[in-house]
Amino acid sequence: MLVSSKDYQNRENEQLKSLESQSKPLGIDKPIYVNYAFYLPDNRKTDLSNKIESINDLLVKYGLITDDKWQIIKGIHATGMWVDKENPRVEIEILDFFSEENGAGEKS
């Protein structure tokens, strides 16, 4: 499926508005770990890595994180993909990379 630039821009603007209603630009610039849970509108074949990259780009564009380079996003976990026809969405959890809750941190 090809999506025109105008369609892509419209979809991106909708997603940015959704972010604005749920979060504020935090400008996170420290190492984080990001969990994604995807709830898709249907059972269509989809590319998980493209979805994650697009969302990371939106998080930067909105100002939730300062950059999506590896020095900021130290780890990514897609917890799953499900179908929810009534409420398709992605749930994003951002954790401090060094927190005990996360169980992660720098390796020596």
The model's pLDDT over 4-62, given as tens digits with 9 standing for 90+, comes to: 677 667 777 777 777 777 777 789 999 999 999 999 999 999 889 988 998 999 999 88
Instruction: Supply the range of the domain harboring residue 28.
Output: 24-96
Q: How far is CA 99 from CA 4, 13, 31, 70, 75, in A?
A: 41, 33, 10, 17, 13
Q: Output the six-digit token pair for 8.
A: 């892509």
Per-residue pLDDT of 49-100, as tens digits, reads 988 998 999 999 889 999 999 999 999 999 889 999 999 999 999 999 987 6
- We report the CATH number of the domain holding residue 84 as 3.30.1330.70
Total domains, the chain: 1
Side-chain half-sphere exposure of 92, counting CA atoms within 13 A: 19
